Amino acid sequence: MFTFETSDQKVVRRFRIAQFNGRTATFRSADAAITGHVRSIVENKSSIPAAWVITIIPEGPKPGIALRPAPRVRAFAEDYF
């Protein structure tokens, strides 16, 4: 799990919408990007200005699936008679 704190209301809104819709969200830091499902958003009531703690469950990288096209099969009329 990845946890971070933010006071940016736009970021919090974007993550709440992603959590509600069951979509993945991406958090970009200075050196890395974390993509995953939002587990929780909790307001830190003791901080001024308001801050929220957001927890993300990271997704592993999707494996690249190399699919080959199916071989073409040609049937001719003389094959059936």
Position 45 confidence tier, pLDDT thresholds 50, 70, 90: confident
CA dihedral angle for residue 6, residue 7, residue 12, residue 13, rounded to 10 degrees: -160
The pLDDT score that the predictor gives to residue 25 is 92
Query: What are the b/e assignments for 6-40, b being 16+ CB within 10 Å?
Result: eeeeeebeebeebbeeeeebebeeeeeeeebebee
The mean pLDDT of the chain is 83
18-31 pLDDT, tens digit per residue, is: 999 999 999 888 88
Position 36 confidence tier, pLDDT thresholds 50, 70, 90: very high
Among 8-12, 55-59, 66-70, where is mean pLDDT lowest?
66-70
